[in-house]
Structure 1
Amino acid sequence: MKRGDWVDPDAGKVKLVDYAEKWVKERDLGDRTRELYSGYLKNHVGPHLGDLTLIEISAPRVRTWRMDLIDAGTGASTVAKSYRFLRTVLNTAVDDELIRKNPCRIKGAGQEKAAERPHASLAEVFRIAAKIQGRYRLLVLLAAFAQLRFGELVALRRSDLTLPLLRTPTKEEIDAGADPDELIDDGTPVVRVDRALAQLDSGEQKLKAPKSDAGRRTVALPAAILPVLRQHLATPGFTDAGPNGRLFRGAKGATPRRNNFNGTWKAAVRKAEANPELHLHDLRHAGATLTAQTGATLKEIMSRIGHSSTRAAMVYQHATSKRDQEIAVALNALISAAMTEAEAGTGEADGDDSTD
């Protein structure tokens, strides 16, 4: 045995379930993450390995446990996440000198192969936005063109939006055909993201900070959605009053919940005759793809979507706000053309706010 490899055999005679519960309790975790980890322990790790002491958990036992989960029909994603949880807990046990080596050594066992998601076209985005309840039209457009997650969207406040000033058209603009009596938006709208709302299994909703600095970001918006944005802010009942008022609220005044919104979303997708497999989160991918088509660099794309992985955060730096504005202008050209096409094909938008 090499010097430094020895550990006290009695130190590892603590049950895995006790050590893992203490591990979850002592970690600086978000409420939702703590809930997920406790679920992996209770439902997938504890029933099989929980009564074993740390020194009794060998590599063969870990392999058997993993295969038992798979044979029982546990989803591949859940198996991978449970394995990663166990591996992380036992890494700490190694650091605590309770065991000499981590028995979780199955190559690729912690990796998830995400199922390929459907891609939303620009036309589908606008058809869905036209058919969804009016109070959620802006939410759909921000999901696509600001690439915001649901938790980030429902955590927005009115003060998180910065709108350009309205001005009268210049003589040159009037000569070019602008209506002299119609005010013009002078600039690019911006949305600030610095929080998200997590929904726990208990139903409680809790505000949380972004997982990383990359998640705290300011995103320039295409000017084409300004009319929808201004209409949303001006419509009674769509938002709370005051600068700190919620930007989105349900028909009964509550903060939208993911499970309730899903029914509203599916109804709009059906009315829009879009791909029935589309989720709201798929619009985030569609928006990132559209951003790439403008010529934005990978760093700039990652900056807009607020990528949260540590490795990406080290590689990709925040794009400058000036370049972000240029991206928004380029997006605006693509979106304006799609809006014109969508309006020609769908006619009047639905405005039913009778549910949710």
Structure 2
Amino acid sequence: MEADVSRGDYIDPKAGKALFADFAARWLESRIVDPSTKVRYEYIYRLHVAPAFDRRQVKSILPSHIQAWISDLNERYGPSTIKTSFLVLQGVLELAIADEAIKKNPARSPVVQMPKHNGEELIAWADERVHAVIHAHPDFFRLIPAIAASCGLRQGELFGLALEDVDFDEELVRVRRQIKKLGADHVYALPKNDRERVVPLPQWAAEAIRRHVKVHPLLACSLP
């Protein structure tokens, strides 16, 4: 113990007896992220992390416990859920280190391995299928899949698109916002990674937008 003190590595044994739940509450509260990300962290923690670790003392959590937990998640959930769950767990344990409750993060042990998921090959739809999907929508909503197919926008970006974001002269679309679900509400937020971007606007998509606004003039007034 004296050697640890002299090296500055001494950890009060009582500190390690603190419950994982105590550090988790502080970690979640301290996150500086957009509201929807914070909601997801809290959701993931409540459903996937808390049941396994909440009642454990942080000093009692071993790499083997974490690996067994990851294996169990892998049998029931997809890569995104596992990745976010592990991010939350690792972050809470890093806070425990920063607060000098434990010396090492068991989640960073070489014993702990995340499952490898081979992404499926993406196959572009044929033009016939794209047009079939577009025309399967009611006329008022037909522009949404048309822009999705032509500009590659994500769903939230499509719902957040305004007519003012379309530059017909330069033939481009400025992706400035997206709509995110925040609890029971929907809010405007910056696009993914908090970065605006510009995407090309094909001529046929530009013509589709012009026709749509001409047929539905109130649409231009109702957009944000």
Q: Report the TM-score range of the alignment, normalised by the length of the smaller protein.
A: 0.7 to 0.9
Tell me how far apart the structure 2 counterparts of residues 61 and 122 of structure 1 sit (CA, whole Å).
50
The correspondence for 2:29, drawn from 17, 25, 30, is: 25
Aligned-pair CA distance for 1:88: 2.5
Q: Does 1:101 align with 2:104?
A: yes
Q: Does 1:143 align with 2:148?
A: yes
Aligned-pair CA distance for 1:224: 2.1
Task: Call closer, same or farther: CA 1:18–1:236 in 2, change over 3 Å.
Answer: same
Q: Which residue identity lines up with residue 11 of structure 2 in the other structure?
A: V
Q: How many pairs align?
A: 217
Task: Call closer, same or farther: CA 1:240–1:230 in 2, change over 3 Å.
Answer: closer
Q: In the alignment, what sits opposite 1:228?
A: 208
- Conservation of the 8 A alpha-carbon contact between 1:197 and 1:207: yes
Aligned-pair CA distance for 1:114: 4.0
For 1:1-356, list aligned pairs within 5 A.
Answer: 3-70=7-74, 73-77=75-79, 78-104=81-107, 105=109, 106-109=111-114, 112-164=117-169, 188-200=170-182, 202-212=183-193, 215-236=195-216, 239-241=219-221, 245-246=222-223
- Write out per-residue CA displacement over residues 126-148 of structure 1, whole angstroms, 9 at most, x where no aligned residue: 22223322223222122122211
Q: Which residue identity lines up with residue 162 of structure 2 in the other structure?
A: R
1:191 counterpart SS class:
strand
Q: Structure 2: which 5+ runs fail to align?
A: none
Q: Structure 1: which 5+ runs fail to align?
A: 165-187, 248-356
Tell me how far apart the structure 1 counterparts of residues 98 and 116 of structure 2 sit (CA, whole Å).
23
- Write out per-residue CA displacement over residues 85-108 of structure 1, whole angstroms, 9 at most, x where no aligned residue: 212322233233332111113454
Q: Which structure carries more relative contact order (alpha carbon 8 Å, separation 6+)?
A: 1
Aligned-pair CA distance for 1:51: 0.7
Q: Given the two structures, how large is their TM-score scaled by the length of structure 2? A: 0.83
- Conservation of the 8 A alpha-carbon contact between 1:81 and 1:110: no
Task: Call closer, same or farther: CA 1:226–1:24 in 2, change over 3 Å.
Answer: same
Tell me how far apart the structure 2 counterparts of residues 21 and 240 of structure 1 sit (CA, whole Å).
45
Aligned-pair CA distance for 1:35: 1.8
Q: Equivalent pairs: percent with the same residue?
A: 28
Q: Which residue identity lines up with residue 200 of structure 2 in the other structure?
A: A
Q: Which residue identity lines up with residue 193 of structure 2 in the other structure?
A: S
Point out the structure with the larger helix share.
2
1:197 counterpart SS class:
strand
